[in-house]
Amino acid sequence: MRAENVFLKIMLWAYLVIFFGYLLGPLIVMSITAFNSPSFPKMTPWECLTFEWFDVLANDTRILNGIENSLIVGVGTVILSVIMGLAAALLLTQIWPKLRATYYTVVIAPILIPGVVLGISTLVFWDRISVMLGMSTGSILHNGIFLTILGQSTFIASYCMLVFVARLQRFDTGLTEAALDLGATHVQAFWKILLPFMKPAIGSAAVLAFLASFENYNTTTFTFGKFPTLTIELAQKVRYGINPSISSLAFIIIALTIFGALIHEVYRRHQQLALANGAPVSAVSGRVQLPRILRGNPAAIILILLALGGFSTIWFAQTYSPDVCKMDVREQKRLIQEERIRAIREQRQLEMQQKQQGSGASGGSTSAPSATQSPGQGAFGNVFKPDNLDRSTTEPKVDKPAQSPGKGAFGDVFAPNNLDKAAPKEE
């Protein structure tokens, strides 16, 4: 039994390593390439530690403009999607039970529709609306940010609704009914009872909506107009080649995501400790006690360590210069290139010598004289000679039977007076 348990543990750890390696491996590789000096993102061979690609990213106006547009679109999508998703979830709990399945299917349908279809339909629909209203092409209905927010909200609101429905399943409707019985209005019952209960779901739905909007490409590619988002800019840059500044952007996004997750975990654990009966304290006197927020909260410790590491990295980046390392790498590349050129030249010289030796050895056996040719004749004789058609110069004269003057090869058959010959006289 013990051997089986050990085997199962080994298999479990192997599965976890493969699983997380598959998920996080590309992110780790891309993060490492942000600190390598080559102009194309690659992890091996490692050349020099550098932070210049972060400066290149900071000076890339297209990327910065795309990030700004993505943030604006993300905030607008969050507001619209959360409102529509919450309204749809509340209506789902209040609608007639026999219609809930149909209503649920209709609300979830945008998730199943391809993003390309949603983008095209959004663009065409609002263009027709602007034509019907007589608006010009510069109106808000043709604005890229406005159309992108509407196009993304059509399916992101469905995600938000699913989050709200999951939260409402644990809500006790008796609380709202009691508030109404005590004289509260429906608006007061919503703001005082239902909304505080839905706050965690609202926060989760807002984060989900922002992330879905920030990374969306299929719908946005038809609606962005003159306001390209970050995903659009990245897709356009990839067509013409990329540099490690894209890796530095990925590293920043990954770092912000990790910090956000740790902050959320710290806040959640702090709430759990606040709701507990008593704060955990050290039972042994004389121990050095951590601050209250760090007790029983490893996420806070990891967050502090990462923050210290980040500040140390920033300070090191300000003082470190990779110029000497780059010069050494450039010199090594030059030497390697010269060595390769020298090897290629030696190989070519060796091949030429072998060819010359081979032609010299075979010269006596292959250069035997062939049939005697007349002077001036080539391999094809006099075929291409200018006076080739002059048979009198190339063919020997052959004695032919003598012919009477004026007769050809057929005698007098074709003579003009052939038929006028008189018949022979009889004596």
Whether the per-residue pLDDT at 6 is higher than 80: the answer is yes
What's the pLDDT at 390? 57
Q: What is the pLDDT of residues 131-170, one digit of tens each?
A: 888 888 778 888 999 999 999 999 999 999 999 999 998 8
- 391 — phi, psi (to 5°)? -65, -25
Q: What's the Cα-to-Cα distance from 376 to each of 31, 371, 382, 393, 395, rounded to whole Å?
A: 77, 14, 8, 14, 16
Using CA atoms, how far apart are residues 254 and 283, in angstroms rounded to an integer? 39
CA nearest neighbour of 165 among 256, 207, 103, 220: 103
Highest mean pLDDT of the ranges 134-143, 305-314, 359-368: 134-143
Q: Is the separation of the CB atoms in 217 and 231 below 8 Å?
A: yes
Instruction: Let me know how long the chain is.
Output: 427
Mapped onto helix, strand or coil, the DSSP state of residue 378 is: strand
User: Band of the pLDDT at 280, cuts 50, 70, 90?
Assistant: very low
What's the pLDDT at 426? 46
Q: What is the pLDDT of residues 369-426, one digit of tens each?
A: 444 445 555 555 565 566 665 554 444 554 555 555 555 555 665 666 665 554 554 4
The pTM score is 0.70
Whether the per-residue pLDDT at 290 is higher than 50: the answer is no
User: Band of the pLDDT at 285, cuts 50, 70, 90?
Assistant: very low
Overall average pLDDT of the 315-344 stretch: 84
More confident site: 311 or 415: 311
What's the pLDDT at 284? 39
Residues forming beta bridges with residue 161, ordered by sequence position? none
Whether the per-residue pLDDT at 64 is higher than 50: the answer is yes
Using CA atoms, how far apart are residues 36 and 41, in angstroms rounded to an integer? 8
Q: What is the pLDDT of residues 201-253, one digit of tens each?
A: 999 999 999 999 999 999 999 999 889 999 999 888 888 778 888 889 999 98
Q: What's the Cα-to-Cα distance from 211 to each of 205, 236, 253, 287, rounded to whole Å?
A: 10, 21, 11, 44
What's the pLDDT at 403? 52
Overall average pLDDT of the 307-325 stretch: 76
